Each structure stands twice: as structure tokens, then as C-alpha cells.
Structure 1
Amino acid sequence: MASTDDSKGGACCHLVGWVFLALFYFAIFVVPMTLLPPDLADPGNLPTTCSVELTGFKGLQAASAPGATSPAFDLVVRVHNGHNFHVSHGGGDVVVSYAGVPVARGRTPSFGLYAKEAVALPVNATSQGLGVPEDLFRLLTEERSRGVAQVEVELKVAWEAFACDVDLDGGHPPRASACYKPTTIYY
């Protein structure tokens, strides 16, 4: 009879050992893979990235200037789908700001990108107002004279928001500015 109790005790130890191994495997391999963002869980799956190139602008004069026109910006938005899946976008708002003040708005066209594809989208952002407010124009003139004037371009692509700081007088050929994920979006 003592041998029967020993066999039950050994089976119990084996069962506890298997349960422990299963929990260990689950804790070490399964849980971290489900808690990681998709781009870290699968190293081939990278986030969507954007850049913006300013190809031209007009209307950056004081609102009180004779013949003042509405600010307008010609942009090229480049989107790279780093994901391993299709990304579609039904078009979205683009806001061009200077010193935190929106000066023009536009929209990106609709597009779809398969895994790892990229696209360049022309965007024309315009304003309904004429010229730039006087105080803002003085700051703009000063920063342009020092070669440090930048506009911020905010946009949404698919389900993600992006912002880009674009040199206003970037030279020729214009260079693309990489976008980042902003902490707040103002539109």
C-alpha cells in the first residue's frame, strides 16, 4: 500500500512540474509578445513615417500691405508604410502654422499603400484671410533675415497624427523635413 501512495506523489510532482514549465513559458514568451507594440513584436513591421517638402509659397506679407494676398503653400507629403499590412487613407486635413498661428489649410488626397510602399502627395494649403497679422509678420521678417524661419505642418495619415518643422527658406532644391509624432494637434 505504501507503494501506491508514492506513485501518486510522483505523479503529482510531475504535474506540478509541467504546470510550472507551462506558466514559465507563458510568462517569458507569450505575454511579452502580446504586450509589445506590433512594430517591436515583429521586427519587420515598422511604423508609418512621413516627411514634408515645401516646394513654394506666396502671400507672406503684412495684411496691411498694398495688394496683400492670402498665404498659400505648395507641399509634397511623402508617406512610407513601414507596416506588413495595407494602409488606406481617405484624405485628411493639413494645417500650416507659423509661431503657433495657423496661416493656411489644405487636404491630402485619398490613397492606399500596400506593405512597405511609399507615395508622394501634392498638397496645396491656402488661407481665407489676406496677408499675415502685423506682429506675426514682424517676427517672420526677423527670423527670415536670420535664416531660421520655419513653418509647422500638422497632418493626419490613416490613424496617426504627424507634425513637421519645415524651413521656410530651405534653398534649392528644397529638402524634405522628417515628421514626428506631436504631443498635441491643434485642428
Structure 2
Amino acid sequence: MADRVHPMPAPPPPSSSPPLEHAAAATETTPLHPSFRGARPPSPGTYIIQIPKDQVLRVPPPDRARRYKKLAARPARRRRLRHACCAAFCAALLLLLLAAAFVGAVYLVFRPRAPSFSVASLSIRGLDALAVSSLTPQIDAAVRADNGANKKTGIDYRGGGEVTVSYAGERLAAGPWPAFHQAPRNVTVFSTALAGGGVSFPEEQRKRLAAEQAAGAVPLTVEAIVPVRLRFGKVLRTWTVDVKTRCEVTVNKLAAAAPPANRGCRVKVRPLWWWW
């Protein structure tokens, strides 16, 4: 079977070219604006500018030059002051951070703790519950100071401390706290003589004191205010701080060698907050 051969399509007719007048019109350009042709040169001649004699062309005027200079220097002065304040604040903050780091390091190394106190014995003389006239009691107090909680911290008890014994808010006698150094893990028992004068009780209080003495349970309060310093090692010491302690005790009689029954002692040291 023979293959079919299709005839070739006829070529398209040639396109007509645009007229010559249209091509010439397309090549024409719009004339330039006069401003693009260059500025006109000034006309030749001499120009004279007249200025009044009383007008001075100066910035600032002479009458305000001093004020202008002062105001112009103010921003620079403020910048210097601001920089000085920032530097002082940064220095103070750095010192505060260094001090806090030093205190923290000392605390972590030495671990300071508050000492504990108790009343070992009381010897009372000149205190009669039935006496109507004023009394002059004499008390010998033995106080036990325990620094066993501190392994590396010593305590310096400074002079000027005071020990007082009172009954129902009435001060009976007072005496000095001796000055001494207490090494770490040390227990010290010391005696101090307390003296009082002009002590008198109202009738109701005398009856109550007599009843408590007959029952063998007379409550007394022993208080002490002692200036102390902490000693860390051999060189480092703290500032002097007042330590306040208050012990509630009970004695069976108001006589010599009255063994006290301690009902607890409280120690208060506010500035040395790291003790707690």
C-alpha cells in the first residue's frame, strides 16, 4: 500500500511596510525646555549693597555674646557631670559587690554561730519577802557561756557589759560582765557579784513572793548586755556589737546557794544577722 504525500502549504503574503511619513514622524523629538539650554549670563555691571551703620552683622550680637557662651558650654558641663555620677555609682556598686562577696566567703569558711548562755548558780542575800522597809540584796551569779557551736570562730567579750537580776519587773541587783576571750569550742563559767539598793515591794507583791518561796518556786529573770567581737583566725575581727541575753530561772529559796532551774535563755544579736 502506497503512502500519501500532502502538498506543502502556500507561503504567507508579504506584509506591507508603513508609509515613510509615519516613520519620519516617529523619529521626531520634542523640543527642549528653555531651562535645559543653560542659564542666561547676568548682565554686566556693578552691584552695591548698602547696610545701615547701626546694624552689626554678628552672631550672636555683642550684648548677648556672654550669655550665648555660657549656654553653649552648659551641655558639655552636664555631660561631664553625668559621666562623673555614672563613674561614682559604678565604683560604689563595685565596692558593694566586693564587700558582699568577701562577707559571703567569710561566712562559708567560718560558719559563725551565736553562743549560748545559762545560769549555773545564784547566791542571794539580803532579800526578805516579809520585810517592809527597803532592801539591799546581794547576789553572786555564776553564768555559763558556751561557744561549742563555733568550730573556727572565737569570741572576745569586751568590758562594759552588765548583768542584772529582777523579779516581776523589779530590778533587784546589777553587776559587771567580765572581759575575756573565748576560744572556739570552749565553755567558760564565770562568777560576778551583783549589788542592789532601795528595793521595796508593795504588800500584794510581798505576799505573792512569800507564797512562791513557800512553794519552792520563785521566778527570777537574769539579763545581760555584753559588747562582743568575733575573731576569725588570728587577724580578722568584726566590729563591736552588743549581745543581749535573757534567761528565765526559778529558785527554790531566796538564800545562799540556791540552785536555779533554767527555763530557757534567748540571745539577740541584730546587726550580726549571719549568726542566725
TM-score (norm 2): 0.45
Aligned to 1:19: none
C-alpha displacement at 1:134, in angstroms? 3.5
What is the DSSP-based 3-state SS (H/G/I as helix, E as strand, rest coil) of the residue aligned with 2:266?
coil
Q: Tell me how large the CA RMSD over aligned residues is.
A: 3.4
Unaligned runs of 5+ in 2: 1-100, 229-241, 269-276
Residue 54 in structure 1 maps to residue 121 in structure 2:
yes
Aligned equivalents of 1:85, 1:130: Cα separation in 2: 41
Q: How does 1:133-172 map to 2 (within 5 A)?
A: 133-157=202-226, 158=228, 159-169=242-252
C-alpha displacement at 1:77, in angstroms? 0.6
Tell me: CA distance 1:63–1:153, structure 2 relative to 1, closer, same or farther (3 Å). Answer: same
Q: State the identity as a percent.
A: 25
Q: Name the structure, 1 or 2, with higher relative contact order (CA <8 Å, separation 6+).
A: 1
2:251, 2:258 within 8 Å by CA — same for their partners in 1? no
CA radius of gyration, larger in: 2
Tell me: CA distance 1:42–1:99, structure 2 relative to 1, closer, same or farther (3 Å). Answer: farther
1:59, 1:131 within 8 Å by CA — same for their partners in 2? no
Aligned to 1:179: 265
Aligned equivalents of 1:138, 1:96: Cα separation in 2: 20
Unaligned runs of 5+ in 1: 1-30, 183-187
Aligned equivalents of 1:53, 1:96: Cα separation in 2: 14
1:152, 1:164 within 8 Å by CA — same for their partners in 2? yes
C-alpha displacement at 1:173, in angstroms? 7.7
Tell me: CA distance 1:111–1:163, structure 2 relative to 1, closer, same or farther (3 Å). Answer: same
Q: How does 1:120-131 map to 2 (within 5 A)?
A: 120-129=189-198
Aligned equivalents of 2:186, 2:217: Cα separation in 1: 33
Q: How many residues align?
A: 148
Aligned equivalents of 2:210, 2:184: Cα separation in 1: 43
Aligned to 1:77: 143
C-alpha displacement at 1:164, in angstroms? 0.8
C-alpha displacement at 1:175, in angstroms? 4.7
2:219, 2:250 within 8 Å by CA — same for their partners in 1? yes
Higher strand proportion, which one? 1
Aligned equivalents of 2:261, 2:185: Cα separation in 1: 19
Residue 101 in structure 1 maps to residue 170 in structure 2:
yes
